Amino acid sequence: MSDNGHQQNGHENVPSRQRRRFEGISSRTYEHPADRSALVALRKLSGFDTVFKALSGLLPERSLRLLFLSDSVRVSDAQFAHLNTMLRDACHILDLEKVPPMYVAQDPQPNAMCIGLDEPIIVVTTGLVELLDEEEMRAVVGHEVGHALSGHAVYRTILLFLTNLALRVAWIPLGNIAIMAIVTALREWFRKSELSADRAGLLVGQDLKASMRGLMKLAGGNHLHEMNVDAFLEQAEEYEAGGDLRDSVLKILNTLPRTHPFTTVRAAELKKWAESRDYQRIMDGHYPRRTEDKETSVSDSFRQSAASYATDVKNSKDPLMKLVSDIAGGAGDLGGRVRRGFGGFAGGTPKDQTAPEDRTSPKDQPPRDSTPEDDA
């Protein structure tokens, strides 16, 4: 447990209440399976980080550090002391020995990031500081420390650089396409890394309500008296299950340019993890240690990732994911649904379009629908 007002392992630890400390915790504990498998594979490549950083020598990291040092406020005992306390406490709880520097940048847009190649830097905006209360902010600081512990900062910095580069070479034929292909792949990993960091934030704050409030504020501003957690989560349910295949495609198109998952989706994912047996085992002190990281199997991590995706597809209420599940399971009348088009999958089998050769049993037949043919 963390103790109020004491020095432990060089960390000044002054939390507002006692929280469990996870000594020697491995980032594998909270990483999303898709995030974890990618990182394990990269870490297993001999000399990958050295080569990666050498190839990334053109990245303006020193410039970024000088920029924040010269034009932002560095968090310390003398400046934003309450954030400094949260930062040290988060590093103590996740047993991150070296506390990364943290800056507050003037920007009305609520945001936070962890970047850097050699050493991570945490940056939070004034908009975020002014939006969140102490416990909500503690979860955000824990979120960013989780990125640092997972080693996300290197790859996030590369993504930031490539995104800016893509804008500069957009006029070059095919040049932008090649870069954007890499950016798209990195963004998919980035979104999964955000789910990992949300879990780290919960391990640091150990207050699910505060984490949920923070996410709601990111979506709807500082109007908690006008918002409701249950209703907010219902939005995530409606988003996932609503519409037909056309909506599923639009969801994909809306998601591709984003670096973060949608806020309601993040809230639903975090709540699901907080209610899982895995989370309870972590809180009981049963979690992977960093000393075991070298023994981690790449193939096991990929299997876990594949199993996670398979479970997500199986349990998803999204029409496209249902179609994928039907294909995998050989569901009856799948061909008929595809022939009838997107609307047919969402609405079932119209009376006048039931193919006579369909031989599925009555219980396998989709519900009848009176939707006119020209509306399908």
Residue type, 76: S
Residues paired with 103 in a beta bridge: 74, 123
Cβ contact 127:107 at 8 Å: yes
Give the Cβ contact number of residue 25 at 10 Å: 21
| Three-state DSSP state, 288 | coil
Tokens of 346: 């969402």
At 138, list the tokens: 């503690």
Q: With H, G, I as helix, E, B as strand and everything else as coil, classify residue 192.
A: helix
Quickly tell me which residue has 């975090």 as its tokens. Answer: 270
Contact predicate 146/199, CB 8 Å: yes
From the candidates 144, 237, 238, 295, give the one annotated as an active-site residue: 144
Measured from the Cβ of residue 214, the count of other Cβ atoms closer than 10 Å reads 28
User: Rounded to an integer, what distance in angstroms lies between the CA atom of residue 344 and that of residue 371?
Assistant: 9
- Report the C-alpha gap between 100 and 104 in whole angstroms: 13
State the Rg of the chain over Cα: 23
Confirm whether 240 is a catalytic residue.
Answer: no
- For the chain, list the strands marked E by DSSP: 6-8, 11-13, 73-74, 102-105, 112-115, 121-125, 349-350, 368-369
Q: Are 125 and 111 in contact, with CB atoms under 8 Å apart? A: yes
Which residues carry out catalysis?
Answer: 144
